[in-house]
Amino acid sequence: MNKYECQFGCGKGHKFKEIKIQETSILQKKGVNFYDLCRITDLNMLIMEVLRDLILILVPSLLVGTVVYLLLKDFRKTELERISHSNDLEKFRLVAPLRLQAYERMILLLERIAPSQLIMRNIQPEQSAASLQNVLISNIRQEFEHNLSQQVYISSNAWELIKNAREAVVSDINSAAEKLNSTATATDLAQLIFEDDISGDASTLYKALEFLKQEVRANYF
């Protein structure tokens, strides 16, 4: 056996011509003989092979795991969006008729408290202006209270415009009544209200009516 070959099979068929004599001498001085060096070299090679095999196994596994995770994450996100969209459609199917009905009732409310409509429904022969004034204000209050619950189905902006319209009509009626004397008749008050209503350009009530109609068209048609 050549003195540069391992008797334990280390580097079989290969000669350790590249091992520096100086390093061998140092190891020998430290009590490490040539055969121990062969064992260490074999162990290092074994460790390197094990590490290489682990890398070959782990790296593809990590790549596959990452791809699977991303696919599952994307699938979960898509499924949640689908379920959310389905729930939104179901809510819309259930709530839409109620909301549409609320808008219809609010439009009808505004039309019913329009000064001309109020007077046509409530004026009586030989009625005083003060009496008609009280009847009109009472009628507006009743109409509004009857539809109060509908505010939950319409937008905040729509509800605010409806309240403003009601207050504007009440204010117009009271302002017209203040211009008359105590002996004025319901006909006098009605005529004054009609004149103010006709001369009023784009009143608060008609602006509210137009806003409600536009919201209905935008959301349901």
Judge contact between 166 and 140, C-beta under 8 A.
yes
Q: What is the pLDDT of residues 106-141, one digit of tens each?
A: 999 999 999 989 999 999 988 999 999 999 999 999
Closest CA to 190 of 124, 108, 138: 124
pLDDT given for residue 131 in this prediction: 96
Percent of the chain whose pLDDT exceeds 90 = 45
Residue 97 and residue 115: Cα distance in Å, rounded? 30
Judge contact between 193 and 119, C-beta under 8 A.
yes
pLDDT given for residue 65 in this prediction: 84
Q: Between 92 and 189, where is the model more confident?
A: 189
Q: Between 21 and 40, where is the model more confident?
A: 40
Of 87-96, 131-140, 146-155, 184-193, the poorest mean pLDDT is in 87-96
Distance of CA 127 to the CA centre of its chain: 56
Residue 201: is its pLDDT beyond 60? Answer: no
Residue 63: is its pLDDT beyond 50? Answer: yes
Residue 13: is its pLDDT beyond 50? Answer: no
How much is the average pLDDT of 22-35?
A: 51
Mean pLDDT, all residues of the chain: 80
Of 33-37, 148-152, 184-188, 204-208, the poorest mean pLDDT is in 33-37
pLDDT given for residue 35 in this prediction: 56
94 pLDDT band, cuts 50/70/90, is confident
Residue 22: is its pLDDT beyond 60? Answer: no
Residue 69: is its pLDDT beyond 80? Answer: yes
Domain chopping of the chain, boundaries: 96-220
Residue 35 and residue 10: Cα distance in Å, rounded? 9
Residue 122: phi and psi, rounded to 5, are: -115, -15
Which residues, other chains included, contact 118 with Cβ-Cβ below 8 Å and sequence gap of 6+? Answer: 112, 136, 139, 140, 169
Cα distances (Å, whole numbers) of residue 81 to 5, 91, 93, 96, 198: 69, 15, 18, 21, 53
Beta partners for 130? none
Tally Cβ neighbours within 10 Å of residue 99: 19
